[in-house]
């Protein structure tokens, strides 16, 4: 069984003060529209209307893999040549599309107008459009906007921008109410249910999740709200919550046994739950997770891993793979390094790790070739070329689509990295399978 070092025995610094490679060059990432793919499943009465080009429509359509007969909860209002040439009034066109959509789909209670590169290029003011349409359709249908544009962003920022746009619409929680806990970040329903049960077992009441499954069930917030981030890419949302008085709880992220334990412990401490009680509730879950993880260590232990910057999950996942799966970290790249939100994670990384922020893809490719790791975590655009050079890869986007948080998902998370390594080994033993 894999021993996990209790959090209080850790060296206090880790790689918090290690030098970071900072790069601002060509990047290989998806844009923020990608977030629609998991968010439209989460908020079940919301609709995401991208105001963009055919490219934007193709990205969403192919990434979401929606069947033609389904009534999806996203679409693209195409900005065509007439709009681009200024021959049509884009606002008028948009109003027509929204009117048609809402008259046909009474199930929609929250509509997001999602900006894109083309809407930004023609300077279409979607915030004014949302205000205008919100006056027309509210309060039955709330209409908000955010940008999913690919200029200067990475794909998980779409969720951040979307949630940050929702925060000003959260009801006010009176200061006379008891403290409550807000869990922030899209989680698959199955994980949310597991977490809700665990908070309940720990005796922590008043736990709400943001975003909620229904837009009509938005959590109230105020100065008595303490919030825990479930995802490491929510800087704008956190800022907006703090402007509303909510207080941030610093914790590692709930990946792996160690991160999940520490995450629950932070909440328990704030809500006055004793350590004995926390241990009593969490121990069976920790044991079960470690037992499920144990067989995967044979594949993962001692393997070198390299992270390209992509999802912003890189640092917490590197911590899990290093400390619980005994993998060796080489370079851990992240598009943005939020020092405050990642402080607890950085303390847990070995100080030998090379952190990098941002990207200059050619330079990074040189480094990965030089290091020749056993597995590379990268975007789809880099995976195939690297595989053809003999490197084993893991698509970073799969980590955002899969349930990977919490105790019950520890082995599944490790399996996502073990599978490509096993596959590579099999191919090395039977190269003819490459042709099958
Ligand atoms: S928003 Fe920009 S980067 Fe994203 S699909 Fe549309 S054009 Fe491409």
| Whether residue 102 is found in the same domain as residue 193 | no
| Domain termination site, one of 242, 276, 310 | 276
Task: Give the Cα separation of 247 and 225 in Å (integer).
Answer: 6
Q: What is the mean pLDDT of residues 92-110?
A: 94
Residue closest by Cα to atom 6 of ligand 1: 56
| Whether residue 106 is found in the same domain as residue 142 | yes
Q: What is the pLDDT of residues 335-371, one digit of tens each?
A: 999 999 999 999 999 999 999 999 899 999 999 999 9
Q: What is the pLDDT of residues 216-256, one digit of tens each?
A: 999 999 999 999 999 999 999 999 999 999 999 999 999 99
| Whether residue 143 is found in the same domain as residue 197 | no
Q: Which of 356, 354, 327 is nearest to 420 (CA)?
A: 327
Residue 85 confidence (pLDDT) above 80: no
Domain presence at residue 248: yes
pLDDT band at 5, cuts 50/70/90?
very low
Q: Is the CB of residue 149 below 6 angstroms from any atom belonging to ligand 1?
A: yes
Q: Is the CB of residue 60 below 6 angstroms from any atom belonging to ligand 1?
A: no
Residue 215 confidence (pLDDT) above 90: yes
Q: What is the pLDDT of residues 274-327, one digit of tens each?
A: 999 999 999 999 999 999 999 999 999 999 999 999 999 999 999 999 999 999
User: Where is average pLDDT lowest: 74-83, 195-204, 308-317, 424-433?
Assistant: 424-433
Q: For ligand 1, what atom is nearest to the CA of residue 149?
A: 1
Handedness of CA 59, 255, 41, 33 (dihedral sign): negative
Query: What length is written for the chain?
Result: 436
| Whether residue 239 is found in the same domain as residue 329 | no
Residue closest by Cα to atom 7 of ligand 1: 117
Q: What is the pLDDT of residue 7?
A: 41
Please tell me which residue, 159 or 66, carries the higher pLDDT value: 159
| Whether residue 249 is found in the same domain as residue 352 | no
Beta bridge partners of 191: none
| Whether residue 23 is found in the same domain as residue 92 | no
Q: What is the mean pLDDT of residues 372-377?
A: 97
Residue 28 confidence (pLDDT) above 70: yes
Cis before 211 (ω within 30): yes
| Whether residue 307 is found in the same domain as residue 427 | yes
Q: Which of 316, 110, 332, 154 is nearest to 229 (CA)?
A: 316
Give the distance (Å) from ligand 1 centre to CA of residue 94.
18
Q: For ligand 1, what atom is nearest to the CA of residue 52?
A: 6
Task: Give the Cα separation of 401 and 397 in Å (integer).
Answer: 7
Domain presence at residue 162: no
**343 in Cβ contact with 319 (< 8 Å):** no
| Whether residue 23 is found in the same domain as residue 36 | no
Q: What is the mean pLDDT of residues 192-214?
A: 97
Q: What is the mean pLDDT of residues 20-35?
A: 85
Domain presence at residue 20: yes
Q: Is the CB of residue 333 below 6 angstroms from any atom belonging to ligand 1?
A: no
Give the distance (Å) from ligand 1 centre to CA of residue 197.
39
| Whether residue 239 is found in the same domain as residue 336 | no
| Whether residue 238 is found in the same domain as residue 147 | no
Neighbours of 398 (CB within 10 A): 13
Q: Which domain holds residue 148?
A: 32-153
Q: Is the CB of residue 117 below 6 angstroms from any atom belonging to ligand 1?
A: yes
Percent of the chain with pLDDT over 90: 74
Q: Is the CB of residue 31 below 6 angstroms from any atom belonging to ligand 1?
A: yes
Residue 84 confidence (pLDDT) above 90: no
Residue 179 falls in which region: left (phi positive, over 0), alpha (psi -120 to 50) or beta = beta
| Whether residue 191 is found in the same domain as residue 110 | no
Contacting residues for 296 by C-beta, under 8 A, at least 6 apart: 325, 411, 414, 415, 418
Q: How far is CA 363 from CA 273, 292, 358, in A?
A: 49, 38, 12
CATH of the domain at 240: 3.40.50.1980
Domain presence at residue 282: no
Q: What is the pTM of this model?
A: 0.92
Q: Is the CB of residue 51 below 6 angstroms from any atom belonging to ligand 1?
A: no
Domain count, the chain: 3
What is the secondary structure of 272-334 as a DSSP string?
A: T--HHHHHHHHHHHHHHHHHHHHHHHHHHTT-EEEE-SSSS-HHHHHHHHHHTT-PEEEEEEE
Domain presence at residue 261: yes
| Domain termination site, one of 153, 170, 189 | 153
Q: Is the CB of residue 55 below 6 angstroms from any atom belonging to ligand 1?
A: yes
Question: Over 201-266, what HEC string results?
Answer: HHCCCCEEEECCCCHHHCCCECCCEEEEECCCCCHHHHHHHHHCCCEECCCCCCCHHHHHHHHHHH
Domain presence at residue 285: no
Continuous segment of H or E residues that includes residue 368? helix 361-371
Q: Is the CB of residue 278 below 6 angstroms from any atom belonging to ligand 1?
A: no
Average pLDDT, the chain: 91
Please tell me which residue, 412 or 8, carries the higher pLDDT value: 412
Give the distance (Å) from ligand 1 centre to CA of residue 124.
15
| Whether residue 322 is found in the same domain as residue 429 | yes
Q: Which of 278, 291, 254 is nearest to 203 (CA)?
A: 278
Domain presence at residue 78: yes
Q: Which of 144, 158, 164 is nearest to 211 (CA)?
A: 164
Task: Give the Cα separation of 170 and 377 in Å (integer).
Answer: 36
């Amino acid at each position: 069984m894999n021993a996990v070092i209790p959090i209080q025995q850790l060296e206090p610094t880790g790689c918090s003060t290690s030098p970071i490679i900072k790069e601002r060059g060509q990047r290989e990432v998806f844009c923020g529209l990608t977030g629609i793919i998991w968010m439209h499943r989460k908020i079940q009465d919301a609709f995401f209307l991208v105001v963009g080009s055919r490219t934007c429509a193709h990205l969403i359509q192919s990434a979401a893999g929606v069947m033609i007969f389904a009534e999806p909860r996203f679409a693209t209002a195409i900005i065509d040549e007439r709009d681009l040439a200024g021959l049509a009034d884009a606002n008028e066109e948009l109003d027509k599309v929204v009117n048609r959509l809402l008259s046909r789909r009474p199930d929609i209670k929250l509509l997001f107008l999602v900006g894109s590169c083309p809407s930004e290029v023609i300077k279409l003011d979607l915030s004014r459009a949302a205000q205008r349409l919100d006056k027309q359709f509210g309060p039955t249908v709330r209409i908000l906007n955010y940008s999913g544009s690919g200029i200067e962003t990475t794909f998980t920022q779409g969720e951040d921008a979307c949630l940050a746009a929702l925060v000003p619409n959260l009801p006010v929680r009176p200061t006379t109410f008891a403290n409550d806990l807000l869990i922030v970040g899209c989680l698959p329903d199955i994980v949310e249910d597991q977490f809700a049960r665990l908070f309940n077992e720990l005796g922590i009441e008043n736990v709400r999740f943001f975003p909620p499954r229904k837009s009509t069930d938005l959590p109230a917030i105020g100065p008595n709200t303490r919030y825990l981030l479930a995802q490491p890419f929510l800087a704008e949302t956190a800022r907006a919550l703090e402007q509303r008085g909510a207080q941030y709880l610093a914790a590692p992220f709930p990946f792996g046994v160690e991160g999940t334990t520490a995450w629950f412990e932070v909440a328990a401490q704030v809500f006055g739950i004793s350590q004995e009680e926390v241990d009593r509730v969490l121990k069976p879950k920790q044991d079960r997770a470690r037992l499920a993880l144990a067989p995967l260590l044979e594949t993962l232990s001692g393997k070198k891993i390299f992270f390209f910057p992509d999802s912003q999950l890189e640092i917490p996942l590197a911590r899990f793979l290093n400390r619980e799966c005994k993998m060796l970290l080489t370079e851990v790249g992240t598009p943005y390094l939020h020092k405050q939100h990642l402080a607890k994670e950085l303390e847990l990384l070995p100080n030998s790790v090379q952190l990098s922020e941002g990207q200059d893809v050619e330079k990074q490719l040189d480094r990965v070739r030089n290091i020749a790791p056993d597995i590379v975590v990268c975007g789809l655009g880099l995976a195939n070329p690297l595989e053809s050079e003999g490197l084993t890869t893991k698509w970073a986007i799969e980590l955002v689509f899969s349930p990977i948080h919490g105790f019950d998902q520890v082995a599944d998370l490790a399996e996502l990295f073990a599978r490509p390594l096993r596959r590579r080994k099999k191919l090395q033993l039977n190269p003819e399978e490459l042709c099958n």
